Structure 1
Amino acid sequence: MKHRLSFGFLATLMLLCIVLAGCGAQQASAPKEERVVTDTTGREVHLPGEIKSLAIVPIPWASIVYAVDGTGQRIAGMHPSAKASYEKSMLKTLAPELAGASTDFVGQDFSIHMEELGKLNPSAIVVWNYQEEEIKQLEALKVPTIALKYGTMEDLQNGIRVIGKVLGKEDRAEEIIEFQKDTMAYFDGKKAALADKPKPKVLYLYDENLKVAGGNAVNTMMIETAGGANAAKEVDGTWVNVTMEQVAAWNPDVVIVSNFSQVQPSDLFENKLEGQNWSNIAAVREGRVWKAPIGLYRWDAPCVETPLMIKWLGQKLHPDVFNDYVLADDMRSFYEKFFGYQLTDEDLKFIFHE
């Protein structure tokens, strides 16, 4: 009797396992339900349950998506300028898989080539918030479209939060935002120490055509947080062209050279830029011209490493105030925590153009 009961019990158990396995297989094969995510413009975006790939129009956001996702596997395409930055950044070391990411779907002017986008067939596309006509076209084509505002630290962090929701990496996104806010809080704590300090005039040079960061550029915030003053603050706009006469009148104490061009500090020290005379500019005379660092992305623009950029700039402008951290150690901690990567001395030299 015991044997008959045992056999019956086992048979029932086996049947139950088969049924459950079948249900599990059906659940595994069933597509995940559609999700709705609100982008930084307040638009509700209907997304597939699983994001397999993204096409990314805004230049810095390929590096930010990588940082949030922890991999480049889901980045199908990026802007040509983002790809150019990738080729000379730490992102190439951390995410070699991005070497195959397409740039054919977007022009230098951010225009979207719909036919090429169709070839990529991304799960969704990320665009600038001001690309209203393209957004309408993409919506008509039923392409899930995430629009991001960009320009301030708040915009950046709101965008990181949206990307975290898109990718299902909300916790990681919040960790990055917390890192940024904690570091910015550190600078708030330095305001009293900077209050009576002279504010060095800083000119942020974009390229060889005398395009500089104007008063509306996020670089103004970076400079002021680090205890300086943007020499071109009174010039309206973000990146704006000026004359050498204006530069001479401002006579900046410091010049930061961006990574958006091939210009090097030596070009100013040796007066190599055609039609420009830098020899009498205080920053050049005193040897205070530096190339901005480049980590995952160019530190000239808002990115996940912006707080580290301000730490770097702070030690250039006020080393006596910002003397309670070793930036190389902070960099190593950041890369280890978020990317599981141990920066070498050579990596640091590369990042800081040393």
Structure 2
Amino acid sequence: MRVDDLNRRTVLQALVAGGSAALLTGCGASGPPPTASPAVSGTGSAASDRISITDQRGKTVTFAQPVTRVVTIPMPSASLLVAVDRSAEHLSAMHNASWVAMRDGIMGTMFPRALELPHDIATQDFTPNVESVRALNPDVVIQWSDAQLIEPLENAGLTVIGLTNNGKQEDVDAWVTMFAAMLGKPERAIEIKARSDHELDDIKSVAAGRGSAGPSILYFNRFTGGLKAAATNTYNDFYIKLVGGTNPATGQDPLPGTGMVGLDVEQVLKWDPEVILLGNFDQAMPQDIYSDPVWQRIAAVRERRVYKVPLGGYRWDPPGQESPLMWHWLSDIAFPQARSGLRGKVREYFRFLYDHEVTEDELNRILWTAANAESANYQQFNAA
């Protein structure tokens, strides 16, 4: 697609207008559905252009020129901004959980400046430290749309873009579009969405062509210190079903409530999931389950189908710029291959997102090949 042949304003408005109002949990605080479809206008291609963005709570903010100082509070937004920008130069501060993912993944290797940035600007529940944020003199603050999280910032005179914690892929498209617009790089939104759409169509096509049902897959957002699993209205439930699996937490005996819901081992024993996914919000590894006698009666443990979810430029378990890679990884987990093509896809995606050539050692880190080595069929992701 040639961006020069398009009316950028029309394209960007169309990209974001398709954003879903369905609730997403799994990457932060939940918020109300947007009151209006987010939209952007202006190209941001010159300093004289005015960039207007209607965020996911329906409020319009306007910039006289592309932003250069951005503070991000929602966890996915720091790495997403870097991916859209292909740089950490315009990121001024982030939530500590975002910083931890950069430190533990390879974002800090690709963009070492990011690890030097302040990351104490909000509490664990995203309540902002307003004075710390003001001291950074940001052009804009990215925050979840909950009024109690945004109002203290706006009352302090700060410009805020509100994100809703929605669960469809359209929500990631909306975030990318808004970030690209405010950075003066609207063409990046078009490129990222086009590639994501291609991968989504590919996954859907492969899933539709299978003649057998997929395994039951249970995702743990938290494992140590109390179990929390992905219930209804989560991105995790979306991609489990996308690849052809089933989620016992949303099946015939579902967990009550939405989002990440607490549960006990007895409920997991009752479901007897065939695959267990361990997320990147705590330090749990497959060996922790394999070595615990309590879990031995569960099919996923008996068949050695417990897996640590990859951690790349950001965690793959919540929505983000690397979600298409998660779809492919999970598809191969659910329906193992003799040899997965995922390593090649990661290389291509990292060139596209970060202009970074991934090494074999980095691929092993991203895919947790050592931690997952004792799990069934994981050799499909090893280097050739």
Task: State the TM-score bracket (shorter-chain normalisation).
Answer: 0.7 to 0.9
> Which residue is 1:86 aligned to?
102
The 3-state SS of whatever aligns with 2:143 is strand
The 3-state SS of whatever aligns with 1:189 is helix
* Offset from partner CA, 1:112-168 (integer Å, 9 cap, x none): 1111111111111001122x1343333333311101123321111111101111111
Residue 166 (structure 2) pairs with residue 145 (structure 1): no
The 3-state SS of whatever aligns with 1:331 is helix
In structure 2, distance between residues paired with 1:117 and 1:180: 33
In structure 2, distance between residues paired with 1:133 and 1:258: 28
Count of residue correspondences:
317
> Which residue is 2:276 aligned to?
255
Equivalent positions of 1:8-19 (< 5 A) are: none
> Which residue is 2:141 aligned to?
125
Residue 330 (structure 2) pairs with residue 313 (structure 1): yes
What are structure 1's unaligned runs of at least 5 residues?
1-30
> Which residue is 1:176 aligned to?
192
In structure 2, distance between residues paired with 1:71 and 1:172: 13
In structure 2, distance between residues paired with 1:106 and 1:172: 29
Q: What TM-score comes out, normalization by structure 1 length?
A: 0.85
Contact 1:257/1:290, CA 8 A, preserved across alignment: yes
> Which residue is 1:158 aligned to?
174
Residue 262 (structure 2) pairs with residue 241 (structure 1): yes
Q: Who wins on radius of gyration, i.e. which is larger? A: 1
> Which residue is 1:217 aligned to?
234
> Which residue is 2:364 aligned to?
349
The 3-state SS of whatever aligns with 1:111 is coil
> What code does the residue aligned with 2:345 have?
D
Residue 198 (structure 2) pairs with residue 190 (structure 1): no
In structure 1, distance between residues paired with 2:95 and 2:217: 29
The 3-state SS of whatever aligns with 2:319 is coil
> Which residue is 2:10 aligned to?
none
Residue 346 (structure 2) pairs with residue 328 (structure 1): no
* Offset from partner CA, 1:272-291 (integer Å, 9 cap, x none): xxxx7101111011110010
> What code does the residue aligned with 1:40 have?
Q
> Which residue is 2:90 aligned to?
74
> Which residue is 2:246 aligned to?
229
Indicate which of 192, 205, 209 corresponds to 2:220: 205
In structure 2, distance between residues paired with 1:119 and 1:67: 25
The 3-state SS of whatever aligns with 2:201 is helix
Contact 2:79/2:313, CA 8 A, preserved across alignment: yes
Superposition misfits of 4+ residues, deviation over 4 angstroms: 31-34
Contact 1:202/1:255, CA 8 A, preserved across alignment: yes
* Offset from partner CA, 1:169-223 (integer Å, 9 cap, x none): 11112211111111001122124323x3122111111222111111221101111
Q: What TM-score comes out, normalization by structure 2 length?
A: 0.79
Shift of 1:32: 5.0
The 3-state SS of whatever aligns with 1:341 is coil
> Which residue is 2:301 aligned to?
284
Shift of 1:319: 2.7
Query: If each structure's helix is expressed as a fraction of its own residues, which one has the higher value?
Result: 1
Shift of 1:231: 1.7
In structure 1, distance between residues paired with 2:55 and 2:64: 15
Indicate which of 280, 293, 311 corresponds to 1:294: 311
Contact 2:332/2:340, CA 8 A, preserved across alignment: no
After alignment, is 228-237 or 73-82 more displaced? 228-237
Percent sequence identity over aligned pairs: 30
In structure 2, distance between residues paired with 1:76 and 1:304: 20
In structure 2, distance between residues paired with 1:260 and 1:280: 25
> Which residue is 1:270 aligned to?
291
> What code does the residue aligned with 1:243 have?
D
In structure 1, distance between residues paired with 2:291 and 2:339: 34
In structure 2, distance between residues paired with 1:248 and 1:327: 32
In structure 2, distance between residues paired with 1:87 and 1:97: 11
Contact 1:256/1:290, CA 8 A, preserved across alignment: yes
Residue 321 (structure 2) pairs with residue 304 (structure 1): yes
Cα root mean square deviation, aligned? 1.8
Contact 1:219/1:300, CA 8 A, preserved across alignment: yes
* Offset from partner CA, 1:239-266 (integer Å, 9 cap, x none): 1111111000000100011110010000
Equivalent positions of 1:23-42 (< 5 A) are: 32=48, 35-42=51-58
